Amino acid sequence: MGRRYKILLICAFSQMFWALPAAAQVEFKGVTASMSGSVAAGYSGDLSGEGGGSDHGMVLGGAGALQGSFYNPNFISFSATPYYNRSQSNSDSQSIFDSSGYSGNINIFSGSRFPGNISFGQDYNTSGLYGIPGTIGLTTKGSNRVFGIGWSALLPDLPSLSVGYSRGSGSSSLLGSEAENSATTDTFTLRSGYKVKGMGLTASFIHEGVDSNTAAILEGGSAQNSNTSSNTYQISGSRGFYNGGFGVGFSRSTYSDAYTGEASGSSHGATDSLYGSLGIKLWKVPLSASVAYTDNLEGNFEEQLLSDGVMQMQTNLSPVSHSLLMSLSSSDRILPHMFVTGFVSRQEEYIAGTSAGLTQFGANVSGNFGERLKGLTATVGVIDSANQEGNEGASLVANVNYRHNLYGWEFEGNFGYDQSVQTLLAIYQTSTLYYGGALRHKFARRVFWNVAGGGGRSAFVQVAGNSSHSESVTTSFTAYGYSAGGNYSKSEGTSVITPTGLVTVPVPIVSNNTVLFNGIGRGLTVAGSPVRRMSITASFSQAFSNTLGLNNTNGASSTNKTSQLNGYLTYQFRRMYFNAGVLQFRQDISAAAGIPPSVVTSYYFGISRWFKAF
């Protein structure tokens, strides 16, 4: 489109602001629909890269919401939400780019015994995050597409049947490097339910296929490609009776995975699981019992890792591995504000020709301390563990929360610690510690200050190195329509690479993609309303992170820096809004040798109006 015609279109489009209709919903040949949204026209400019070229000119943008039905909402109903040219500088969108997209949904025969549904959507030029645990991640630019269809048969006195298929695909690039991630997921589901003689029966089949490409963000690392397929079959039954109920179930899952990269290979396996549960009251004492048997621990564990995007598990364990878990627990009120819970559990595992077992028993006491220490709730317990070699000792479980107001100061604090058992592949004890607090005070009718902070740590008791911890603090001050706030976070630990970023190590089993990480993030936000119907917001954030690859990443590392500055102003007059915004973003990744930092600088000012077309 020529520049002259584009300017004419902008001028014609802007005239609509003064005369947009506000009619009720319309009807036409059985179709009843309503549409609302916002339209915007303005002037924007941007600068690409350091010392790069600039671009500026008139722009259009907006978002809409269409919904309606055909003859009757229970017959066919539909909705759609398109948006165009939405970014942090010209709307409430969180994307730093001029994002566009749409989503829609169609319900068919929703009032009948054969309801169906179709959903679809696509997004372009969206911004996302490549995760760094506990702090601000690295910014990515990507696009994605989703499609789903489902149908059900709900006939009386016959088993229900539901079938569905969905496909999602997307790709993203890491700003400041040439790294790109992509993934396509196909899912097919089949479910059925039936109730006979008071017993509920369910059965399901789920097939999932994932084709992913995980980019190498670390210097010296390599991209990893994975093609994963899994099938899960499940059947279960449950029944209640006058003083309790029970449930039983069986599941079988098969998986296969082929991966290429610095280390290539494939894996496959199958896992069968049988489980049951019982809840009953004996002499007014509630009892809960459960039992679960798994015939292939290694396959079960590897399948869970693959579903999370963790590739190339490194292990020399025998494929012969199974486990049996039994537990019994009870809880009861002993005082008006106090509960006691007791339990005993037994785990038996057979791995690589070796048997291992662990028995745990313990008790928790929880209560609200009422008038004497109003606002205090606590749970304190002791767990004792023993295996075939003897007693492993007792551990403390605690959870304390406290809230109190004193002379206008509001205080809140929490603390928690526990040790539990990891039952996949081997019996490991995990420890988790978290703490936090907040303080708030009202100095005058419209003057407030608050500060909050906290942290946490997770680790494996028997294994050094597979741990992580994080801390954060935030504060804000508000006075007479103006506010200012800041935040700080810090984290470090051991992680593994997935298509969406780094995640903390799920169990103490070494992966070929193990990465040490640490990160620091900080930010500042100010906002105010200097005159009626005007609001101004400005924010600045900055993050630093380092990664050090282990194992097959050959010590590869990266140093990452990200900063972002945003400013946004909006002013309402009549039924219109004047909007102005500015954005500056910069991301530098040292692992991307020879690639300059990614720099985005843009500004915008224009007018927008909400409308209800029909």
| Spatial distance between the Cα atoms of 516 and 548, rounded to a whole number of angstroms | 5
Residue 66 tokens, joined: 């269409």
| Spatial distance between the Cα atoms of 531 and 463, rounded to a whole number of angstroms | 60
| Spatial distance between the Cα atoms of 447 and 440, rounded to a whole number of angstroms | 11
Q: Which residues contact 197 (CB under 8 A, 6 or more apart)?
A: none
Residue 292 tokens, joined: 């679960």
Give the three-state DSSP class for 492.
strand
> Tell me, what's the pLDDT at 140?
86
Residue 121 tokens, joined: 């959507």
The mean per-residue pLDDT over the stretch 69-73 comes to 89
Pairing status of strand 354-368 against strand 557-573: unpaired
Query: Which tens digits make up the pLDDT trace of 196-244?
Result: 888 999 999 999 998 887 766 554 556 677 788 889 999 999 998 888 8
The answer to whether 251 and 273 are in contact (CB under 8 A) is yes
Cα 601 from chain centre = 29
Q: Which residues contact 373 (CB under 8 A, 6 or more apart)?
A: none
> Tell me, what's the pLDDT at 179?
76
Per-residue three-class SS string for 77-97: EEEECCEEEECCCCCCCCCCC
Q: Which tops the pLDDT comparison, 373 or 437? A: 437
Query: Which tens digits make up the pLDDT trace of 257-287?
Result: 777 765 566 777 788 899 999 999 887 788 9
> Tell me, what's the pLDDT at 317?
42
Query: Which tens digits make up the pLDDT trace of 11-43?
Result: 444 444 444 444 456 777 788 999 888 888 888
Kindly report each contact of residues 274-277 with a partner whose C-beta sits within 8 Å and lies 24 or more positions away, as own/partner. 274/249, 274/250, 275/248, 275/249, 275/250, 276/246, 276/247, 276/248, 276/249, 277/246, 277/247, 277/248
User: Among candidates 148, 65, 72, which has minimal Cα distance to 110?
Assistant: 72
The answer to whether 352 and 320 are in contact (CB under 8 A) is yes
| Among 306-315, 394-403, 556-565, the least confident range | 306-315
Q: Which tops the pLDDT comparison, 163 or 516? A: 163
| Spatial distance between the Cα atoms of 523 and 232, rounded to a whole number of angstroms | 45
pTM of structure: 0.79
Pairing status of strand 376-387 against strand 514-528: unpaired
Cα 207 from chain centre = 22
Query: Which tens digits make up the pLDDT trace of 348-367?
Result: 877 666 777 778 788 888 87
Q: Please determine, for residue 250, whether its predicted confidence score (pLDDT) is greater than 90.
A: yes
Of the pLDDT bands very low, low, confident and very high (cuts 50, 70, 90), residue 311 is low
Q: Please determine, for residue 58, whether its predicted confidence score (pLDDT) is greater than 50.
A: yes
Q: Which tops the pLDDT comparison, 567 or 316? A: 567
> Tell me, what's the pLDDT at 389?
55
> Tell me, what's the pLDDT at 449?
95
Q: Which residues of 50-79 are buried (b: 16+ CB within 10 A; e: fewer)?
A: eeeeeeeebbbbbbbebbbbbeeeeebbbb
Q: Which residues contact 18 (CB under 8 A, 6 or more apart)?
A: none
| Spatial distance between the Cα atoms of 89 and 539, rounded to a whole number of angstroms | 12
Report the percent of the chain where pLDDT is more than 70: 78
Q: Which residues contact 47 (CB under 8 A, 6 or more apart)?
A: 53, 54, 599, 601, 602
| Among 34-38, 306-310, 448-452, 540-544, the least confident range | 306-310
Query: Which tens digits make up the pLDDT trace of 460-471?
Result: 655 555 678 899
The mean per-residue pLDDT over the stretch 285-299 comes to 84
Question: Per DSSP, what are the bridge partners of residue 563?
Answer: 542, 586
| Among 180-184, 336-340, 407-411, the least confident range | 336-340
> Tell me, what's the pLDDT at 17?
44
Q: Which tops the pLDDT comparison, 424 or 215? A: 215
| Spatial distance between the Cα atoms of 532 and 221, rounded to a whole number of angstroms | 55
Q: Which position has the token pair 């500026």?
A: 56
> Tell me, what's the pLDDT at 151?
96
- Of all helices (H) and strands (E), which one includes residue 301? helix 297-307
Q: Please determine, for residue 155, whether its predicted confidence score (pLDDT) is greater than 90.
A: yes
Query: Which tens digits make up the pLDDT trace of 546-595?
Result: 888 765 544 467 888 999 999 999 999 888 899 999 999 999 887 656 67
Alpha-helical segments (H) within 50-205 = none
- For the chain, the average pLDDT equals 81
Beta strand residue intervals within 336-481, DSSP E: 338-351, 354-368, 376-387, 390-406, 409-422, 428-444, 447-460, 468-479
Query: Which tens digits make up the pLDDT trace of 475-512?
Result: 999 999 899 999 999 998 888 777 677 777 655 554 55
Look up residue 561 and give its amino acid. Answer: K
The answer to whether 589 and 1 are in contact (CB under 8 A) is no
Give the three-state DSSP class for 500.
coil
Residue 597 per-residue DSSP state? P
Q: Which tops the pLDDT comparison, 484 or 370? A: 484
Pairing status of strand 116-132 against strand 99-108: antiparallel
| Spatial distance between the Cα atoms of 304 and 527, rounded to a whole number of angstroms | 44
Tell me the residue length of the chain.
Answer: 614
> Tell me, what's the pLDDT at 175?
83
Residue 502 tokens, joined: 């780094």
| Spatial distance between the Cα atoms of 594 and 112, rounded to a whole number of angstroms | 62
Backbone conformation region of residue 501, classed left if phi is above 0, alpha if psi is from -120 to 50, else beta: left
| Among 4-13, 192-201, 276-285, 336-345, the least confident range | 4-13
Q: Please determine, for residue 299, whether its predicted confidence score (pLDDT) is greater than 50.
A: yes
